[in-house]
Structure 1
Amino acid sequence: MQYRLFCSLLSAGLAVAAAPALSHEFWIEPEKYQVESGEPVTARLRNGELFKGAEQPYLDHRIARFEVMQAGSAAPYAGRMGDMPAFTSGIAQDGLAVIIHQTRPQRLVYETWEDFQTFADHKGFGDIPARHRALGLPEAGFAEQYTRFAKALVAVGQGAGSDLPVGLETEIVALDNPYTGNPAQGLPVQVLYQGRPRPHAQIEIFAKAPDAGVTVTTLPAEAQGKAVIPVLPGHRYLLDAVVLRPAPVGQDYAWESLWADLTFAVPPR
């Protein structure tokens, strides 16, 4: 029975991974964004749209990095194959905890140019037709490799502390603490790519209200990759920024996308 259940979970995870995700996000969704001192932290991995998605099991062959960082020190996390939620851990230290998850690269094939164009336009790459033609690539039947770089901010106890760059190839760093800052001033963030500011990156903002309604907006970062995200008390947020680059020479895929995601909540008043 347990073996059959594990196989079902594995098949479900692979089926989602193999589907043409196009503009689907991947994120870490804590069960509670604020926990009491000594209370376990539980978080789910999700893939979907509009801040709603299918839960993904813990599958170690799909994970490149899974860690928890507090006060600038990161500790690896290891779950059990098939675990859902994928993350359950006791975090002894009070403060801001940053859950970090990097997937191993996966691929999808675009059977039509329209699918790729739709994805590229949605993520802010309006120059994609010219770039594609300049590389001499076919307009159908080409592959994209994609990797997800997700972070989630959880307040343990009072939740004091700061997010920091964690060395992901691309990431979104919160420059203030959403649990201790002033929401009226917004949340400043910075988009990084290969450790450096990513100028003019498009940030997609998914805001989930207390009634579970979701609004979606986009905001361009400035020249140093920084932006101030408008936030409201009692809301949960998913931020997304995508790098799209040509595949290295000699690879059997045409494009490579790197997805940076950050989830957090703003406490109610």
Structure 2
Amino acid sequence: MNSKILATLVLSAFVFTAALAHEFWLEAPRFRLQPGDTVNVHTFIGADFKGEPWTTKAAKIQCLTRFGPTPGDSTDLTPKNATDTDTFRTGFTFARPGTHIVLLQSTSSFIELPADQFTAYLREEGLDYALKLRQENDQMAQPGRETYRRCAKTLIQVGEAGATAAVTDSACRHVYGLPLELVPEQNPYRLAADKALTVRVLRAGRPAFGAAVQVWQRQPGGLPTTHFTTRANQNGRILLRLSGPGPYLLAAVDMSAAPAKLRARADWQSTWASLTFAGPAATARLPTKH
């Protein structure tokens, strides 16, 4: 094969795989708000914690909800009976002091990749189980037919974290039953700098042993975003040290055999999960209302 053609094919496969592997997350203009603020919580997709707007199509949203720091305090913006031309709202009012969570689950989408690109994608994302099954079932030469869905959560602090009771942490530490979910066991807004934060990775509510978790931290002053990968232990936990105010993006992906109802279009089902929040900031000040 001509070397130029080969180089082009390799580059195309790399670019395609990188595009497919872009993370998805939720992010408000500010992670710290005053009681009563109304802000849009945006959906982003991109690499290295730099993103573009994901979509405006309401039909792509299976769930979009805010949960407040006290039981019963919630806002559901999930579109109802959406058509392909409908858009969805992202403006939430954060009335009560405490830590709020906004979560989104997308509907399923489908894609088919040539065999070599699918293999490269599995290796890039650390999806060892799916790769092992393809090897054992002699499927390495077959295209990868996949259905994928996205689950994103963001934590937003309303009022000063130190001024609110610990009971207002309950929303951020709650398990919401997403198919793949990142659940902090401490409130990052109440941690001191360099203290440990443990996060559970849950697959269908159970510990996702060995799951690869990507961690990004934006740096102040225009410094490069930091990134590393860690894996969940036997209890599905990862351990982090919050070295600065962030914000932080945690992301994980899981792949398993597609459910029977989707087998006509897909052999595999992937689920992409993310969690965003700001870290401890003892000197952080809330914006002043005018």
Q: TM-score range by the shorter chain?
A: 0.7 to 0.9
- The two structures have a TM-score, normalised by structure 1, of 0.84
**Structure-2 residue corresponding to 1:58:** 56
**Structure-1 residue corresponding to 2:12:** none
Q: CA RMSD in A?
A: 2.2
Identify the match of residue 221 of structure 1 among 225, 229, 232. 232
- The alignment partner of 1:90 has SS state of strand
2:108 and 2:98 map into 1 onto residues whose CA distance is 32
Tell me by how many angstroms 1:247 deviates: 1.6
2:36 and 2:108 map into 1 onto residues whose CA distance is 35
- The two structures have a TM-score, normalised by structure 2, of 0.78
Q: Does the CA contact (< 8 Å) of 1:32 and 1:42 recur in 2?
A: no
Q: Does the CA contact (< 8 Å) of 1:245 and 1:257 recur in 2?
A: yes
Q: Does the CA contact (< 8 Å) of 1:67 and 1:77 recur in 2?
A: yes
**Structure-1 residue corresponding to 2:7:** none
Match runs of 1:111-190 below 5 Å: 111=114, 113-137=115-139, 139-159=141-161, 160=164, 161-162=168-169, 163=172, 164-190=174-200
* Residues 266 and 129 (structure 1), Cα distance of their counterparts in 2 relative to 1, 3 Å cut: closer
Q: Does the CA contact (< 8 Å) of 1:168 and 1:194 recur in 2?
A: yes
Q: May I ask how many residue pairs the two structures share in their alignment?
A: 248
Q: Does the CA contact (< 8 Å) of 2:35 and 2:158 recur in 1?
A: yes
Q: Summarize deviations over 1:54-95 as a string: whole Å, max 9, x none.
A: 113432100000000123544312579446xx5212121111
**Structure-1 residue corresponding to 2:75:** 75
Does 2:262 correspond to 1:238? no
More displaced stretch, 210-219 vs 91-100: 210-219
Tell me, which stretches of 5 or more residues in structure 1 are unaligned? 1-18
1:172 and 1:232 map into 2 onto residues whose CA distance is 20
**Structure-1 residue corresponding to 2:35:** 37
1:157 and 1:145 map into 2 onto residues whose CA distance is 40
Q: Does the CA contact (< 8 Å) of 2:150 and 2:273 recur in 1?
A: yes
- Decide which structure has greater strand share: 1
2:208 and 2:44 map into 1 onto residues whose CA distance is 26
1:51 and 1:140 map into 2 onto residues whose CA distance is 32
Report the AA paired with residue 251 of structure 1: A
- The alignment partner of 1:131 has SS state of helix
Identify the match of residue 96 of structure 1 among 93, 96, 99. 99
**Structure-2 residue corresponding to 1:108:** 111
* Residues 220 and 213 (structure 1), Cα distance of their counterparts in 2 relative to 1, 3 Å cut: same
2:108 and 2:129 map into 1 onto residues whose CA distance is 24
- The alignment partner of 1:183 has SS state of coil
2:142 and 2:253 map into 1 onto residues whose CA distance is 22
* Residues 59 and 72 (structure 1), Cα distance of their counterparts in 2 relative to 1, 3 Å cut: farther
Tell me, which stretches of 5 or more residues in structure 2 are unaligned? 1-15, 283-290
- The alignment partner of 1:130 has SS state of helix
Does 2:214 correspond to 1:204? yes
* Residues 182 and 64 (structure 1), Cα distance of their counterparts in 2 relative to 1, 3 Å cut: same
Q: Summarize deviations over 1:101-147 as a string: whole Å, max 9, x none.
A: 00000111112x33222221222223544311434546354321110
Tell me by how many angstroms 1:178 deviates: 1.0
* Residues 129 and 219 (structure 1), Cα distance of their counterparts in 2 relative to 1, 3 Å cut: closer
Tell me by how many angstroms 1:221 deviates: 1.2
